Amino acid sequence: VTATLIDGNALAAGLKLKLADEVAASSKHGRPPSLAAVLIGEEPAAAAYARSQARHAAGVGMEYRLCRLPAECDMTAAAEAIARLNSDAAVDGIMLHLPLPAQLDTFSLQQAVAPRKDVEGIGAANLGLLLMGRDALVPCTAAAAFACLQATGVHLAGREAVVVGRSVIVGKPLAILLLASHATVTQCHTRTRDLAAHTRRAEILCVAAGVPELIGADHVSPGTIVIDVGMHRVSGTGPDGTQQLRTAGDVQLEAVLPVAGAITPVPGGVGPVTVTMLLANTVKAWRQSLRLG
């Protein structure tokens, strides 16, 4: 028996169709939704990510504005750019491309985004609302991991869920989402003793450790649903025996496939759903700004 693969590309495509329908139906009430991305400096990976965001946004009928600032810009200029977007009534969502140049304070700039436009869901207001079980803009990667889990149709109430990782953007909000669905949640991190003893108890195992292929077959019990948030480029040997780069997650996919009940592959699992969640948060912010509920 091998695990069912949770198809993130198909899930993302379905979600985008729904968003496109929602945008088309509601745009008659006013302007289409608009996402503004702030890109500071010339980081090639961030610029490539911005191009892909622009394509995805256009695909659902959303406007996308890229606000570029020079690599040498100071905190005042960066904060002013965010303040301008905060007060621009034609902008629904603001996201900040990382990494920022070293002279800039990432935390301060992220927290400068107005809560109603914080479509990355990483401001104190949205995280606080999420913690309190209130309606919030949820961090995109945690929301994507949770959507992959929900796509399996699993009933979460009472389940043993283990989250490996406690970052603010993934591990912590994902644990809160699981808790809100009445799972019994264990959170593991770098100081956890005997990680495998915890992960083997999991019926739902979510891994966001940022360590390539940390989780092997010995960490997983038969039938467990495994959500792999990790995303890495690692070197390996290709079919012709040469060294090649390949994409890997935090889970050893081939080793875990015969054990798990279902698993998100890397690539093609959580990743494609994450950008869709950014669009979904922007549509949500837009509906709220147009008072469409």
Residue 73 or 188 having the CB closest to ligand NAD: 188
Query: Which amino acid is residue 87, in one-letter code?
Result: S
SS3 state at 64: strand
d(CA 284, CA 293): 9
Question: Encoding tokens for residue 271?
Answer: 């990743």
d(CA 57, CA 30): 18
Do 215 and 173 form a contact (C-beta atoms < 8 A)? no
How far from chain centre, in Å, is Cα 279?
Answer: 11
- As measured in angstroms, the least distance from the Cβ of 140 to ligand NAD is 7
d(CA 65, CA 67): 6
- As measured in angstroms, the least distance from the Cβ of 115 to ligand NAD is 21
> Phi and psi (nearest 5°) for 73?
-65, 150
Residue 81 or 170 having the CB closest to ligand NAD: 170
Binding residues for ligand NAD (CB under 6 A): 141, 164-167, 169-171, 188-190, 192, 195, 208-211, 214, 229-232, 250, 270-271, 274
The bridge status of strand 184-188 relative to strand 262-263 is: unpaired
Question: CA of 15: how far to CAs of 52, 95, 132, in Å?
Answer: 17, 20, 26
- As measured in angstroms, the least distance from the Cβ of 205 to ligand NAD is 12
- As measured in angstroms, the least distance from the Cβ of 188 to ligand NAD is 5
Residue 3 or 209 having the CB closest to ligand NAD: 209
Residue 183 or 229 having the CB closest to ligand NAD: 229
- As measured in angstroms, the least distance from the Cβ of 84 to ligand NAD is 27
Residue 44 or 293 having the CB closest to ligand NAD: 44
Look up tokens 């496109």; give the residue.
20
Residue 274 or 289 having the CB closest to ligand NAD: 274
Nearest to 206 by CA among 144, 132, 158: 144
Question: Encoding tokens for residue 12?
Answer: 């993302």
- As measured in angstroms, the least distance from the Cβ of 241 to ligand NAD is 28
Residue 117 or 166 having the CB closest to ligand NAD: 166
- As measured in angstroms, the least distance from the Cβ of 19 to ligand NAD is 17
